[in-house]
Amino acid sequence: MSDIQFEIGKKPYSAYHMAKAPPPQPDHVLVKVGPGTPCGELMRRYWQPVAMRTKVDARPQAARILGEELVVFRDLSGRYAVLNKHCSHRGASLEFGRVTTQGIQCCYHGWHYGVDGTVLETPGDPEQSNIKEKICHGAYPAIERHGLIFAYMGPPEEKPPFPNFDSLNLPGVELVPYAIHHPCNWLQVHENMMDPVHAVFLHAKMGNVQITPNWGEEPVTEWGEVNGRTLFYVATRRLGDRVWVRFNEVLAPNFAQVGGFWASGDQQYLFSRVGATRWTVPGDDISCWIFGFRHFSDELEAGGFGNKDLIGYNSFDVYGQTGGRTAEEMHRNPGDWEVEVSQGPIAVHGAENLALSDMGVVALRTNLRRAVKAVEKNQAPPQALGADGAITPTYTSNTVLDLPLPAAGDDVELRRRVGRFVVAEVVQADGYPPESRVEMLRQKLATIASRVLAGEEPPACCRFMSL
């Protein structure tokens, strides 16, 4: 909020005067994503999901990603491709093209493109024409992972390996891909991942209970950063004689994971893993997609609440994540989609009055600026990559411990220490062998309650920001 608006805003019934004040502007560094923009250049240094495989396998699909018009398809030899949407000849859309063994042909004049943009044929031209040797159609590298198509849209010589997250390789876990469109800027959707306070009110207290009633228990919340690349929050709730620790993470620029959704706290469990992995991908400055995977396993879905049949294109099995509900329902029981989209096409940070509970949002924006500056200085932005393509450990999890309410003393401080213990043990497990990391970590987590009661302090692992 500007100084003028702040002074006016301290007075009752001040809307008239506030309307005349100079309007604050959007944060163009973080919200603009087109070619050549600071954040757009950052986004292009990472693999970004651009389409669902089920959509692409049927026919070529038009996609607008980072302000660019693209077409995504799979050729008849099974290779996925992401090309500029408009034919290099006279601009017809390749979404109406004919897929071939080697690539795609434009329906207008038959120009034939390989998956790397090479012009293979210009059949409408005479034989002596050499135009296909003079030009190359725009194309980006593409790969498929678990039902999503990813593209790398940055400098070819800087293409990183695809990150091999541990959460996408867990035994007994089924990954179900999905895509949800939002008619608003990407950042106001993504930064919701670092705002655990909203879950208490939006998901439990202000309308119907949208997940489980225990989300309405106000947690002790802290935020922090690990390894210069992972930003997290840890929210620790009291559930009778148990303590529930929820540990979520985001990585620059637009990756996030959330823990299993259905924690009830009715029994102890240790390091229950990810409920959803997601990327918030800008379509342009005023639209975005959440592409991701819902995780299903016997452990995650022990309560029987999840429904994999509801996961897909603009469809999700947790209430409030998509649009399409009636106006009456949206008003009666708004969800994440309503509050994110209702901030406007581009949320104006200068109009906000940030509170202490917005520490995670501020930290996320700060980390993004740091990564943007790295790219501007021709430095490599932080990548979530293990050495030589090894599995990259992630931290998102739920842990519920048997730990009765103390007869005397500060339960808030007790929960803070429990949360920090969980963070320390999970982070320190990075060095465990991937095949035994989960089991070794669970053995460590099982000792936390007794260590807390014995007065032991959690090991220092990172800098915390606390409410």
The answer to whether residue 1 scores a pLDDT higher than 60 is no
pLDDT at site 202: 87
The CA distance from 82 to 85, in Å, is 9
**Domain boundaries in the chain?**
48-158, 166-466
For the chain, percent of residues with pLDDT exceeding 90: 75
Secondary element (H or E) of residue 75: none
Pick the closest to residue 275 from 339, 322, 211, 229 (CA basis): 211
Instruction: Give the model's confidence band at 256: pLDDT under 50 very low, under 70 low, under 90 confident, else very high.
Output: very high
pLDDT at site 267: 85
Q: Quick one: average pLDDT of 187-216? A: 88
User: Per residue in 323-345, pLDDT tens?
Assistant: 999 999 999 999 999 999 999 99
Identify residue 217 by its one-letter amino acid code.
E
The CA distance from 231 to 462, in Å, is 10
Q: Quick one: average pLDDT of 354-380? A: 94
User: Per residue in 95-144, pLDDT tens?
Assistant: 999 999 999 999 999 999 999 999 999 998 988 899 989 999 999 999 99
Domain formed by 48-158, architecture: 3-layer Sandwich (2.102)
Instruction: Give the model's confidence band at 380: pLDDT under 50 very low, under 70 low, under 90 confident, else very high.
Output: confident
- Considering the entire predicted model, what is its pTM? 0.94
For the chain, percent of residues with pLDDT exceeding 70: 97
- CA angle at residue 429 from 426 to 433, to 5 degrees? 145
pLDDT at site 14: 86
> 29-43, 211-225, 340-354: which has the minimum mean pLDDT?
211-225
Most distant CA pair in the chain: distance in Å? Answer: 91
Kindly give, in sequence order, each residue whose CB lies less than 8 Å from that of residue 346, ignoring residues fewer than 6 positions away.
Answer: 26, 31, 184, 185, 188, 285, 286
The CA distance from 426 to 407, in Å, is 29
Identify residue 251 by its one-letter amino acid code.
L
pLDDT at site 8: 59
The two counts, helices (H) then strands (E), for the chain are: 14, 21
The CA distance from 304 to 302, in Å, is 5
pLDDT at site 386: 56
User: Per residue in 270-288, pLDDT tens?
Assistant: 999 999 999 999 999 999 9
Kindly give, in sequence order, each residue whose CB lies less than 8 Å from that of residue 244, ignoring residues fewer than 6 positions away.
Answer: 214, 217, 236, 237, 263, 265, 398, 399, 400
Kindly give, in sequence order, each residue whose CB lies less than 8 Å from that of residue 144, ignoring residues fewer than 6 positions away.
Answer: 53, 80, 150
Instruction: Give the model's confidence band at 34: pLDDT under 50 very low, under 70 low, under 90 confident, else very high.
Output: very high
Q: What b/e readout covers 147-184, taking b as 16+ CB neighbours within 10 angstroms?
A: bbbbbbbbeeeeeeeebbbbbbeeeebebbbbbbebeb
Computed from CA positions of residues 28, 25, 199, 450, in that sequence, does the dihedral angle turn out positive or negative? positive
pLDDT at site 206: 85
The answer to whether residue 384 scores a pLDDT higher than 80 is no
> 63-72, 109-118, 206-215, 422-431: which has the minimum mean pLDDT?
206-215
Pick the closest to residue 457 from 426, 395, 414 (CA basis): 414
First to last CA, the chain: 22
Instruction: Give the model's confidence band at 67: pLDDT under 50 very low, under 70 low, under 90 confident, else very high.
Output: very high
pLDDT at site 433: 86
Assign domain 166-466 to a CATH class: alpha beta
Q: What is the dihedral of CA 346, 350, 353, 359, to 10 degrees?
A: 80
Q: Where do the DSSP E strands lie in 353-451? A: 397-402
The answer to whether residue 4 scores a pLDDT higher than 70 is no
User: Per residue in 211-235, pLDDT tens?
Assistant: 888 888 899 999 999 988 899 999 9
Instruction: Give the model's confidence band at 392: pLDDT under 50 very low, under 70 low, under 90 confident, else very high.
Output: confident
The CA distance from 351 to 339, in Å, is 16
> Can you read off the two tokens belonging to residue 196?
């655990």
Instruction: Give the model's confidence band at 7: pLDDT under 50 very low, under 70 low, under 90 confident, else very high.
Output: low
Q: Is 409 exposed, middle or buried (0-12, 13-18, 19+ CB in 10 A)?
A: exposed
Helix, strand, coil abundance in the chain, percent, nearest 5:
30, 30, 40
Give the bridge partners for 179, in sequence order: 291, 313
The answer to whether residue 246 scores a pLDDT higher than 70 is yes
